[in-house]
Amino acid sequence: MKRLRITVNGRPYEVEVEVLEDDEAGAPPLAGPTSPSSRHTMDSYVSPVTTPLPTRARVSTPQERTVTAPINGVVLEIPVRIGQPVQENDVLAVVEAMKMRTNIAAPSAGVVAAIEVKLGDRVEIGQVLLRFE
């Protein structure tokens, strides 16, 4: 039997573990020294996160002028209103997929004619989000 001390949700516990088979000869201990020189931090493994660039939405044809979803996801934000003029690269909507937010930017200047989705809607690739005049 081995006695181990573990911490769960900030509370320390002492447990006894029976080793049935030890197939790792010379394996390092589960809990090694905790001196600063032996401790690794996540900083050495994780690269810094940068702000993602907006995804430029696709506009179908000059006559139709619709903006479609570039990914499947859920609509989190719609920071524009019907009748609002927008410039190229203005954020038209934010769609979340797998905890990642994607800003959908205007591909060109125009005026928002219709908003075809609402907050919380699930959208699929190619689904119309907005229409321009």
Contact residues for 112 (Cβ-Cβ < 8 A; gap 6+): 80, 81, 82, 83, 84, 85, 86, 92, 130, 131, 132, 133
> What is the spatial distance between Cα 130 and Cα 84, in angstroms, rounded to a whole number?
12
> What is the spatial distance between Cα 35 and Cα 122, in angstroms, rounded to a whole number?
49
Q: Which CATH class is domain 55-132?
A: mainly beta
Q: Note the pLDDT of residue 12.
A: 82
Residues of the chain where predicted confidence (pLDDT) is lower than 70: 22-64
Q: Which regions of the chain carry the CATH code 2.40.50.100?
A: 55-132
